Structure 1
Amino acid sequence: MPQKTNSLQDSDRMYVRVIDYIKQEITAGRLQIGSKLPPERTMAEMLGVSRNSVREAVRVLEIMGTTVSVQGAGHFIANNFESALVETLSLMFVLKELDFRQVSQLRYALELKSFTLAVQNATWQDLADLREIISQLDMGVKEEEENVLLDKRLHYTIARASGNMLFVEILQALSDVMDRFIADLRQDIMSEETRKKKLHDAHRRMVESIFTKDVAAGSAAVEEHFALIDQRLETRTQNRAES
């Protein structure tokens, strides 16, 4: 099979020039979230590349979550990194590079750190939201689906209270991946009354510890929360292997 000439290889790499240009514009502050990219023709002429190279660069950046294309309006700088991370992690699952225990271990490490930071950084609004969520969970008369949503909201609020948006993005992505591959895990845990009570108790102690700034008690509650999840994951994995 004939080898590509250097000129063809260079042509194939022209899209990298476009990506580098967009990165430089973002770094310089000339492009921000919501900014519209220059038209394809303009970038092609300015950078000395083909319009196909510009299109390929924009496609790559869209996969990365950096840009979004709006039909009839053009291409814009975006902040879709969570979606890109979900897709990457999902592919790692499909390719057997990840398993549920590894995801749970990462979630535990991140949630433990986000909890300790929330103790220090939670705002009055974060505290009010956490109190309202626990109050709703305390009522204990909701459908399982509603309790699942409250569970997600509680963890999101603690991550937000950490003050580190990386925790929010990564934990949400990990949660979405778990939901995608074990869609009913939270409902499964809450379907059995003893497990449900243990989970709620862990949630309550996590929130109370943020109010009282008791890192040790809250950390123990986070550990118990994930021990419960890991126990159920192990059972589900074994059942799947035997079926």
Structure 2
Amino acid sequence: MKHYERVEKVRLLVVDDDPPIADLVATVARYEGWDAVTAYRGEEALRLAAEFRPDIVVLDLMLPDIDGFGVLDRLRRSGTMVPVVFLTARDGVADRVAGLTRGGDDYLIKPFAVEELMARLRTVLRRSTGPGFQRSVLKVADLTMDEDTREVRRGDRLLTLTPTEYEVLRYLMRKSPTVLTKAQILDHVWEYGFGGRSNVVELVVSRLRRKLDDSGPPLIHTVRGFGYVIRQAAE
């Protein structure tokens, strides 16, 4: 069985004048189960903030009309205290200090890792909403994955996984009980440059099985001629 402890979706507003970056962040957030909308200009961001009422905002500084500081100032003057995480190429100390002292909650420099950005967003959300913000947890049989802390446990035992093992396992758990092809796993976890190299999926799945099966019955099953699925074996 799979479940999420968070009942309501987090609403994210991504503001960046570079559409590929804004769309990438929004797509990853949606994959995490969040609602996400994008704005490419400051005025558009202010309109969406009033209509969409986001729980958190990712905000670039260099926008074509109002800069990020101006957007933040107007948000605060409107009375909203929505958390804001700056995502910008401006890496000067003065900009960082200004971003935080003018009401920003965090400041991340481009180029950036999307995983780090999502981790920072979760941290800001927990800090701003307090203990009411629930973690996102996946569960299949006695296997649990906390997507916020990235802890994976089989029963009471904490598992040590590589980043790639973690992403493959998370994809299998998110889609359980759907059977996934090797091509689907390749495209999702490795994205580009691994076309046709299905053996890398076999190797990672083999390592995962060794780590998971030490603590209980097998959970990752091979569907011959198709792919893999994670589920509790039928008794």
TM-score, length basis structure 1: 0.23
- Which one has a larger percent helix, Structure 1 or Structure 2? 1
TM-score, length basis structure 2: 0.24
- Which one has a larger percent strand, Structure 1 or Structure 2? 2
Higher RCO (C-alpha 8 Å, min separation 6): 1
Bigger Rg over Cα: 1
